[in-house]
Each structure stands twice: as C-alpha cells, then as structure tokens.
Amino acid sequence: MDVAMNPSNVKPSDEASKVNFLRRQMCVTLPTVLSGDVDLADKTAIVTGGNAGLGFQCCVQLVDLGLGRLVIAARNEAKGQAAKEELCARKHTKTTIEVWWLDLGSYDSVQAFVERVKTLDGVDMIVQSAAMFGVDFKVNDKTKHEEMVQVNYLSNALLTILLLPVLRAKKRAGKPATRIAWVNSETAAWAQFKERSGESILAELDKPGGFEYLERYCTSKLLCQLFVVELCRRVSASTAVVVLVNPGFCWGSRLHRDVGGVVGGVLAVVKRIIGRSPEEGARTLTDAVVRHGDEVHGQYLGDCKLKPMAPLVYQAEGAKIAEALWAETMAELEFAHVEEVLAGVGE
C-alpha cells in the first residue's frame, strides 16, 4: 500500500470535520486488550513520557498484560521513579521496570538515549507519547527552534530515525519487527499552516509574529504526519513498523496544564464533558503496539482503526510540502548523519 494513499473508506475531509470529532468523542467505545489476547512475557517496551498522563496509563496496561520489561523514558527522573513505584505496587506485577532520562528539548539527550537503547537485548514496542503544549512563544535555548516544533516534531523525528538501525540489528529471529507508535492528533487536520508558503518552513515557524498556541500545536502534529509519510517511503516495515496513533481528546493527560485563566477553566469543563479518560485514551496506544501488523506502517490509527490523516497529506500540494519539509529536516539533523543512517536501513 502506498503510504500516501487513504487506507480507509472514510474521506479525509469527513474525518477532519468537527461534527465527526464530537461524534467520536461521545459515541465510540474503544476496545480493551485482554491478557488472554496477547503474550508479552518475553517482550520489551519503551514508553516516552511514561511517567504521567496517557503514557503512564499505557504503562499500566502493558504491565497488567504481563509485559516482561518496561523502560519509562522521562525528562524528570524523580517523577519517573514515582511512576515506577506505583507500577511495581500493582497486583501480580512481574515486569522489570527501569527509568531512563530523556529530554526531547535536547538533541544530545536524544542521542544519549539511543546509545543506551543499544544495551538492550531487543525492543518489541515503542510508544512515543512525550509531547508539549505551550501557551507562550518560546525558543529552545539549545536548538533555537520554537519549542513545540522542537519537542513534538524535530526531536521525535531524530529519535525515530536513530532508533531504526538499532531495532533492525536487534530484531529477534522469527519475531515481528518493532512497533513504533507515535502519538498524534486529529487536530493536525485543523492546522491552517500558513508557514508552508515561506521559503523555509522551519524558519517561518521560528518567527514569533503570528504565533497562536492552539494553531501551533495543530501544525506540529501535521508536521509529524508529513514526515512519517516520507519516512515510510524510504524505510520498510521489515525494519520497524512506524504508525501514528490518535488517542482522542482526553482529560487528565496534563498536556494542557499551562493553559490558565478563563480559557483554562473552560477547557477543563469541556474536557470533562466530551473528553475520554486517560485509561480510555491509552487503550489506543496499547492497541497500536500489540494488535496491528505491517499493514499500518506509515499510516494513522484513530479509534483503534485505520483512518485518513489530514486532507493536506493526500493532496498534490501536500506532497510538495512533505518533500520540502523532509529536505529541511534532513538538513537540520545533519549533525547526526541521519541520511547515512536512513541509507543503511532503506530498502
């Protein structure tokens, strides 16, 4: 299947509509993975952002399913340790749990984390749930890029690329390739993405003028969709199955913790009315790494089913933007020799 083709019978414009968003939030019941459905006793999982919110609830579900080994990747190691203690206190927990430091605001941290992954015997599933939602325009001190673009897109892109040769080398004989579930959002389809008309997409996103936090969050998620389509054109599912997953709008995720005042109060009420619980949202993450095969490579899961990405992804304009974004991303990450890395795993 061409990764840029809509894999479902749902029109991208229909999936992107606000009415259908509300219907999904209010009417869809997400499936639960039961212990009898899977055998994870000899499996190893990494969950970024696993100390809180949806990431933590995904850890809970994997541990309850009998996962053999879990690595919680957290920016705050103390909070990671607290999450580990809570998980270890659960009934019948047999999972070996470790906490590793990962700061997606730092390329050095991403590279060091990947070096540490090399010490594992193998990795069967990775959930990239770490993300941020900042209300103020902020430039990353180290990379000089706008912080939401840095954390939600650029650093996660680097992490994904650098992990690929490690996962390929450590693939166990007779076992399926590692599943990488990168948490995404339906809000990608709502991005106006005016920066696409500039000479440089990343340079335009680094400008403070016109910054609006919700729009920027939506755009950061759209960048991820455009990137994954290009990545999976170059890397086959035999190396790793990379899939975007939408958990829906959830309360208790702490993603919007920086939104204060009247807006924050209204948002909290809306979340409780139409939002999914963290446990419900996390079902989509667990489902993405234990229930699906090669058919989801380079695709997007919503409500635990294949769904279309943002309409732009399937348009001629989107294809050109994706190519331009890919070129800029390769240039940005050149210090890590990403093109050589991809050439080594490409098929």
CB atoms within 10 A of CB 11: 13
- In this prediction, what percent of the chain has a pLDDT beyond 70? 91
| N-to-C CA span, the chain | 15
42 part of a folded domain: yes
Give the Cα separation of 162 and 338 in Å (integer): 7
pLDDT at 273 over 80: no
33 part of a folded domain: no
Higher pLDDT, 30 or 347: 30
87 part of a folded domain: yes
pLDDT at 259 over 70: no
Q: What is the pTM of this model?
A: 0.93
Higher pLDDT, 12 or 241: 241
Label residue 253 by pLDDT band (50, 70, 90).
Answer: low
117 part of a folded domain: yes
What's the pLDDT at 254?
56
What's the pLDDT at 274?
72
262 part of a folded domain: no
- In this prediction, what percent of the chain has a pLDDT beyond 90? 78
pLDDT at 1 over 60: no
Q: What is the average per-residue pLDDT within 155-161?
A: 99
Q: What is the average per-residue pLDDT within 84-104?
A: 95
Q: What is the average per-residue pLDDT within 96-121?
A: 98
Question: Domain span at residue 309?
Answer: 12-26+38-250+276-344
pLDDT at 258 over 90: no
Higher pLDDT, 271 or 129: 129
Q: What is the average per-residue pLDDT within 48-63?
A: 97
Residues labelled as active-site residues: 217, 221
What's the pLDDT at 189?
96
What's the pLDDT at 211?
93
What's the pLDDT at 264?
55
3 part of a folded domain: no
Q: What CATH number does residue 316 fall under? A: 3.40.50.720
Total domains, the chain: 1
Half-sphere exposure of 96 (CA within 13 A, CB side): 7
What's the pLDDT at 256?
52
267 part of a folded domain: no
Give the Cα separation of 70 and 72 in Å (integer): 6
4 part of a folded domain: no
